[in-house]
Amino acid sequence: AQSVAQPEDQVNVAEGNPLTVKCTYSVSGNPYLFWYVQYPNRGLQFLLKYITGDNLVKGSYGFEAEFNKSQTSFHLKKPSALVSDSALYFCAVSGLTGGGNKLTFGTGTQLKVEL
Amino acid sequence: DAGVTQSPTHLIKTRGQQVTLRCSPKSGHDTVSWYQQALGQGPQFIFQYYEEEERQRGNFPDRFSGHQFPNYSSELNVNALLLGDSALYLCASSLGWTSYEQYFGPGTRLTVT
Pairing relation of β-strands A10-14 and A109-114? parallel
| pLDDT at residue A78, rounded to an integer | 98
Whether the bond into A79 is cis, omega within 30 of 0: no
| pLDDT at residue A62, rounded to an integer | 95
A5 touches B: beta carbon within 8 Å: no
Mutation to test the A interface, candidates B88, B102, B110, most A Cβ within 10 Å: B102
Measured distance CA(A68)–CA(A47) in Å, rounded: 18
| pLDDT at residue A99, rounded to an integer | 61
* Phi-psi group of A71: left, alpha or beta (phi > 0 → left; psi -120 to 50 → alpha; rest → beta): alpha
* Closest residue, chain B, to A48 (C-alpha): B101
- Nearest by CB to B43, which of A100, A101, A105? A105
User: By three-state DSSP, how is residue B61 classified?
Assistant: coil
Residue ranges of domains in chain A, CATH in brackets: 3-114 (2.60.40.10)
B45 with A102: Cβ contact below 8 A: yes
pLDDT band at A66 (very low <50, low <70, confident <90, very high): very high
The architecture CATH gives domain B5-112: Sandwich (2.60)
pLDDT band at A1 (very low <50, low <70, confident <90, very high): confident
Percent of chain A with pLDDT over 70: 95
Measured distance CA(A76)–CA(A47) in Å, rounded: 10
A101 with B106: Cβ contact below 8 A: no
Measured distance CA(A63)–CA(A58) in Å, rounded: 6
- Nearest by CB to A44, which of B41, B90, B99? B90
Give chain A's end-to-end CA distance (angstroms, integer): 41
| pLDDT at residue A29, rounded to an integer | 82
pLDDT tens digits for range B77-104: 999 999 999 999 999 999 987 777 889 9
| pLDDT at residue B96, rounded to an integer | 82
pLDDT tens digits for range A91-106: 999 866 556 788 999 9
Q: Which of A109, A100, A101, A93 is nearest to A2 (CA)?
A: A93
Q: What is the DSSP string of A7-22?
A: --SEEEEETTS-EEE-
B55 with A108: Cβ contact below 8 A: no
Contacts of A2 in chain B (CB under 8 A): none
Contact B112, B86 (CB under 8 A): yes
| pLDDT at residue A98, rounded to an integer | 58
pLDDT tens digits for range B19-71: 999 999 999 999 999 999 999 899 999 999 999 999 989 999 999 999 999 99
Contacts of A52 in chain B (CB under 8 A): none
Mutation to test the B interface, candidates A4, A21, A44, A47, most B Cβ within 10 Å: A44
Pairing relation of β-strands B108-112 and B10-13? parallel
pLDDT tens digits for range A67-100: 999 999 999 999 999 999 999 999 999 866 556 7
| pLDDT at residue B72, rounded to an integer | 96
Residue ranges per structural domain of chain B: 5-112
B106 touches A: beta carbon within 8 Å: yes
Percent of chain A with pLDDT over 90: 78
* Amino acid, single-letter form, for residue A6: Q
B101 with A46: Cβ contact below 8 A: yes
